[in-house]
Amino acid sequence: MANAEKVAAVAELTERFRDSSGAVLTEYRGLTVAQLAELRRSLGGNATFAVVKNTLTKIAVTEAGLNDQLASLLAGPSAVAFVDGDVVEAAKGLRDFARANPLLVIKGGVLDGKAMTPSDIIKLADLEPREVLLAKLAGAMKASLAGAAATFNALPMQMAQLAEALRAKRAAADAGPADTPDAPDAPDAPDAPDAPDAPGSADEG
């Protein structure tokens, strides 16, 4: 490759690393041209798969500021999946293809500037797609809003009931206890008659 071509290739790779939301480095040793074409189709519009030269890619990685995250992965035949769409769908495509074709080895990658191990990429692939997560979030928000609306609608009735209870309590307090009539005086008990003298009790002369 001529020097000018190398410079152009490094510039293109550097731009791809900078512009992509993520990049996954793989080893593709043993895969046929047909299998690589199948992999590209499986990634759809979420990522592009490019076979790269390690010497040029190391320069591009350094210029893109990703040397610490990716330089150690550039050993052996390398190919990079540059993520342009849904990162979860891209990870799913790579994971599923690697399961069906063990010759594709996921070595690691970078997402939003942060290094990712192969296990991190597999965990990412296990997540639900962005559209599903957004739909679930929208459903949860809709349910929360419906609950809040029901609560707000119930407030006027509850306030009216509370006001009526307070009014009744205040009216009862203002009326005071009901007056009770005085009980009539009990009639005096009649004097008991004198008891007759008992016989033989009088003084004898």
Split at pLDDT 50, 70, 90, the class of 128 is: confident
Mention the CATH class of domain 3-127.
alpha beta
Q: What is the pLDDT of residue 168?
A: 78
Which pair of structure tokens corresponds to residue 184? 């009539």
pLDDT mean across residues, the chain: 81
If you average pLDDT over residues 73-101, what whole number do you get?
94
- pTM of the predicted model, to two decimals? 0.61
* Beta-sheet strand order (sheet of 47-52): 47-52, 78-83, 22-27, 105-111, 114-116
Residue 116 scores a pLDDT above 60: yes
Domain boundaries, the chain: 3-127, 128-171
Taking CA 19 as the corner, what is the angle to CA 16 and CA 25, rounded to the nearest 5 degrees?
Answer: 50
Split at pLDDT 50, 70, 90, the class of 184 is: low
Taking only the tens place, the pLDDT of each residue in 2-32 is 688 899 999 999 999 999 999 999 999 999 9
Residue 160 scores a pLDDT above 90: no
* Minimum mean pLDDT range among 17-31, 48-62, 116-130: 116-130
Q: What is the pLDDT of residue 154?
A: 66
Q: What is the pLDDT of residue 205?
A: 42
If you average pLDDT over residues 36-53, what whole number do you get?
93
Q: What is the pLDDT of residue 204?
A: 45
Strand-pair partners of 83: 22, 47
Q: What is the pLDDT of residue 171?
A: 77
Residue 173 scores a pLDDT above 70: yes
φ, ψ for residue 48 (rounded to 5)?
Answer: -115, 140
Residue 199 scores a pLDDT above 70: no
Q: What is the pLDDT of residue 4?
A: 87
CA 11, 114, 30, 49 dihedral sign is: negative
